[in-house]
Amino acid sequence: MADENVLEFANVSKTYNIISDPLLSQGRQAVLDNVSLTLRRGEIYGFVGLNGAGKTTTIKIAMGLVRPDTGTVKMLGKALNSDDLRRIGFAPEKPAFYDFLSAEETMKYSARLLGYSADKTRIAEVLETLNLHNDMDKLVREYSKGMQQRLALAAAMLHDPELYILDEPSSGLDPVGRRHVKDLLRNLRSKGKTVFFSTHILSDVRELCDRVGIIHNGKMLFEGTLKDLNPKGEDLEDAFIKMTAVLPTETTTSAPKERELTQQ
C-alpha cells in the first residue's frame, strides 16, 4: 500500500522542567506543542527547523526514548513497541561509540544489541556503502568526526530495516560524504524503504525530499510537498526564513494554516 502511514504523531506535546537553579522550580517549558505529522511508506521526509525547534525531541519520542506528555504516536501502524525498533534504522544526532572497538567490532556489537548477528561479509558490504570498508579494522577512536557519523549510518543499515530515522545524518560530513549520504537515501527509497531525517541543509531537502515538515518553537508550521511549500519556486532558504519569521518566538500561539504561509 503506497500511501500507508509508517509514522504518525497526533497532537503530541512535551514539556521539560526549567531548572536553571536546582533549588528553584521555574515552571515548565513547552518543547513540543500539539505536533501532528505523518510519514508515508516509501517516501523521504525532511524534518526542518531552527536550532532548538524540537526536531531531536520529536525523533526521541518516535524512538521511545522520551515519553510525550500528551498525544499519540503510531509506528508502523500501531503503538510503538520494542519489537518494532528492530524494523527501524536509527542514527542519533550525536553518535557515541566505544573507543577501543574497531569499526567491525562496533558493527557486530550494534547488531547484537538488536538481537542479530552480522558476519564480516555483511559488515564489509554495509561499510562499503558509506566508503568505510578500508577502515573497518581501525579503532573508532581513530575515526574522524565525519567517519563516526558515517559509521552511525552504517550501524543503522546493518539489519536492513524498512524504516530509517536519522537525526542530521549529513552534519559534519565533507562534500564527498554528503554526496554519499544523498545517494544512499535515494538508493534506500528506490528499494522501497522509508526515510525520515532531520536536517539544516536545505539543498538536501530540495534534492531529496518527497515531503517536508517544518517545526518552529515546538509547533508544526508546515507539512507537505516541496511544491506546496514553495509554489513560486523561489530560493528555498528565503522561503524557509520567511516562514519561520512568521511567528515571533515568545508570542507563538497557534500554527498558521498552510495556505497563509505559502502566500507570504
Ligand X SMILES: Nc1ncnc2c1ncn2[C@@H]1O[C@H](COP(=O)(O)OP(=O)(O)OP(=O)(O)O)[C@@H](O)[C@H]1O
CA–CA distances in Å: residue 200 to residues 36, 50, 133, 184: 20, 8, 28, 18
**Which region among 52-60, 139-147, 205-213, 235-243 touches ligand X (by CB under 6 A)?**
52-60
Helix (H, G, I), strand (E, B) or coil at 155: helix
Residue nearest to Mg ion (CB): 56
Q: Which stretch binds ligand X (CB under 6 A): 34-42, 47-55, 110-118, 235-243?
A: 47-55
Find the part of the chain contacting ligand X (CB under 6 A) among 53-61, 76-84, 135-143, 250-258. 53-61
Distance CA 132, CA 107 (A): 12
Partner whose binding site includes residue 31, from Mg ion, ligand X, none (CB under 5 to 8 Å by kind): ligand X
The C-alpha cell that represents 236 in the structure block: 528555498
Query: Of the two residues 198 and 230, which places its CB atom closer to Mg ion in the complex?
Result: 198
49 binds ligand X (CB under 6 A): yes
User: Segment near Mg ion (CB under 5 A), from 40-48, 91-99, 170-178, 244-252?
Assistant: 91-99
Proportion of the chain in helix, strand, coil states, percent, rounded to 5:
35, 25, 40
DSSP state of 133: G
What mask, x for binding Mg ion by CB under 5 A, covers residues 37 to 76?
Answer: ------------------xx--------------------
Question: What is the distance of C-alpha 113 from the center of its chain?
Answer: 21
Give the total of residues touching Mg ion (CB under 5 A): 3
Contacts with ligand X, 23-42, as mask; x by CB under 6 A? --------x-----------
Q: Which of 7, 35, 39, 53 binds ligand X (CB under 6 A)?
A: 53
Segment 88 to 107, residues that bind ligand X, using CB under 6 A: 93
Biggest distance spanned by C-alpha atoms of the chain:
55
Residues binding ligand X: what is the number (CB under 6 A)? 11
Smallest gap from residue 50 Cβ to ligand X (A): 7
- Record the cell numbers describing residue 61, joined without a space: 519520542
Nearer to ligand X, 35 or 153 (CB): 35
Can you tell me the distance from the alpha carbon of 28 to that of 131, in angstroms, rounded to the nearest whole number?
44
Q: Report d(CA 21, CA 68) in Å as an integer.
A: 24
Amino acid (1-letter code) at residue 12: V
DSSP strands (E only) in the chain: 5-17, 28-40, 44-48, 70-75, 78-79, 88-91, 163-167, 194-199, 211-216, 219-225
54 binds ligand X per the rule CB under 6 A: yes
**Between 49 and 161, CB nearer to ligand X:** 49
Judged by the rule CB under 6 A, the positions of this chain that interact with ligand X are 16, 31, 49, 51-57, 93
Judged by the rule CB under 5 A, the positions of this chain that interact with Mg ion are 55-56, 93
